[in-house]
């Protein structure tokens, strides 16, 4: 391996694609011998045990009474600068533009410009937050001040470039990755029997239950599928729409068919027992859950939106339909579940595509290449 680096990684610690990707990247980089310093206001969701060469630094925020709300962005900037000095970091890799790239910009000023910053865009940091006039100029400033910018899909690069008037030449496309040592097809009959009998299919949805995930559409699709093909639905995650969805399940009389599993760290085992993943989101700049399902041999039924068409080959590894077109999603889900030959073809295609296009070795090498370019090695 080339010279190991000292890298700070800034991310959200909560359930969500950007924080999960950042944490998994940190673990893999540490495994390769790089010294990794995770910086966040809480322990990242998937950082559930000690790892060699990986350290966690908590951001403490002042609650001084004159502040209307705790100034997290300032506290984070100070912590980034502190960790960079104390541990002689080669660079800081921030995931999610707002507020992390802005805090990294401030940390860079604190250090007199002596801090290399890589910013990775994940989706709603641009598609939602950068559309606000309050945030737009700050995000543009932070991105233009970054030494390198990566994004998880071509669609996200296009949208960022158009929205913030930044040349596409400044962006590097690096897709999300999946660790196939963890996410792979497994025969877990005992676990499957806890949720369904041998005649039933299992559909799954994994998200942070925000409105953008359209979980009510998940229920609508499942209800129709269950009428044609006896099925169970596993809902994994937590978020603002959870109580509403729980009420809808009761209203629809689906309590005996739907399981709410909450947050799950070892999600690979649960995904592996599913037959289909449902992802009818209003927006997905990539769709990390769909990639993890793909690696487990589970096809996705989802929306033809954002970066999902770059991940899922329509008619080969899943089916995509326009946002809100649940009748088409229902139709394709049923079609796949009742055709065993076609389903097995999709399953094999899923595993092969995940391995060839989104492997850890491939994507990790792309990030390392960016790092060494940034520090001039």
Q: 133-156 pLDDT, tens per residue?
A: 888 999 999 999 999 999 999 999
- Answer yes or no: is pLDDT of 62 > 90: no
Name the CATH superfamily for 189-357: Glycogen Phosphorylase B; (3.40.50.2000)
Alpha-carbon gap, residue 317 to 301, rounded angstroms = 9
Tens-place pLDDT, residues 150-174: 999 999 999 999 999 999 999 999 9
- The beta-strand segments (E) located in the chain are 6-10, 35-40, 54-58, 91-95, 117-121, 148-151, 171-173, 201-206, 231-236, 258-262, 276-279, 300-303, 318-321
Alpha-carbon gap, residue 102 to 141, rounded angstroms = 8
Task: Indicate if 189-357 has the same CATH topology as 6-177+359-375.
Answer: yes
> Sorting pLDDT into bands at 50, 70 and 90, what band is 63?
confident
> What are the residue ranges spanned by the domains of the chain?
6-177+359-375, 189-357
> Sorting pLDDT into bands at 50, 70 and 90, what band is 66?
low
Share of the chain above pLDDT 70, in %: 98
Using omega within 30 degrees of 0 as the cis cutoff, is the peptide bond preceding 308 cis?
A: no
Which CATH class for the 6-177+359-375 domain?
alpha beta
> What is the reported pLDDT for 1?
54
Q: What is the mean pLDDT of residues 245-273?
A: 95
Q: What is the mean pLDDT of residues 34-58?
A: 92
How many CA atoms within 13 Å lie on the side-chain side of 201? 24
Tens-place pLDDT, residues 177-207: 999 999 999 999 999 999 999 999 999 999 9
The pTM is what? 0.92
Alpha-carbon gap, residue 312 to 301, rounded angstroms = 9
Average pLDDT, the chain: 95
Helix (H, G, I), strand (E, B) or coil at 92: strand
> What is the reported pLDDT for 279?
98
Q: Which of 117, 111, 109, 110 is nearest to 91 (CA)?
A: 117
């Amino acid at each position: 391996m080339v010279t190991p680096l000292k890298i700070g990684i800034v991310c959200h610690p909560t359930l969500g694609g950007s924080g999960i990707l950042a944490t998994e990247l940190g673990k893999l980089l540490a495994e390769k011998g790089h010294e990794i310093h995770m910086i966040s206001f809480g322990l990242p969701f998937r950082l559930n045990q000690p790892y060699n060469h990986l350290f966690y630094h908590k951001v403490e925020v002042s609650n001084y009474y004159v502040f209307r709300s705790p100034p997290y962005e300032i506290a984070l900037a100070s912590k980034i600068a502190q960790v960079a000095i104390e541990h002689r970091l080669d660079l800081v890799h921030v995931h999610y533009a707002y507020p992390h790239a802005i805090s990294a910009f401030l940390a860079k000023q604190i250090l007199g410009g002596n801090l290399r910053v890589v910013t990775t865009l994940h989706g709603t940091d641009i598609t939602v937050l950068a559309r606000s006039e309050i945030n737009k100029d700050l995000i543009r400033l932070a991105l233009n001040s970054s030494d390198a910018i990566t994004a998880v899909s071509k669609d996200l690069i296009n949208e960022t470039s158009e929205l913030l008037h930044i040349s596409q030449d400044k962006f590097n496309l690096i897709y999300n990755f999946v660790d196939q040592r963890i996410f792979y097809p497994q025969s877990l009959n005992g676990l499957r029997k806890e949720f369904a009998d041998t005649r039933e299919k299992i559909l799954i949805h994994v998200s942070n239950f925000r409105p953008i995930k359209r979980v009510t559409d998940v229920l609508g699709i499942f209800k129709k599928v269950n009428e044609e093909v006896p099925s169970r639905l596993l809902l994994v995650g937590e978020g603002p729409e959870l109580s509403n969805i729980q009420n809808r399940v009761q209203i629809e009389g689906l309590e005996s068919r739907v399981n709410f599993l909450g947050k799950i760290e070892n999600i690979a085992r649960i995904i592996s027992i599913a037959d289909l993943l449902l992802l009818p989101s209003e927006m997905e700049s990539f769709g990390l859950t769909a990639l993890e399902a793909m690696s487990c041999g589970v096809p996705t039924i989802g929306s033809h939106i954002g970066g999902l068409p770059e991940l899922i080959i329509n008619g080969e590894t899943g089916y995509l339909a326009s946002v809100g077109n649940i009748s088409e999603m229902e139709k394709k889900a049923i079609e796949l579940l009742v055709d065993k030959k076609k389903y097995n073809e999709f399953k094999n295609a899923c595993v092969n595509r995940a391995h060839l296009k989104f492997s850890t070795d491939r994507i990790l090498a792309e990030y390392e290449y960016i790092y060494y370019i940034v520090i001039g090695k």
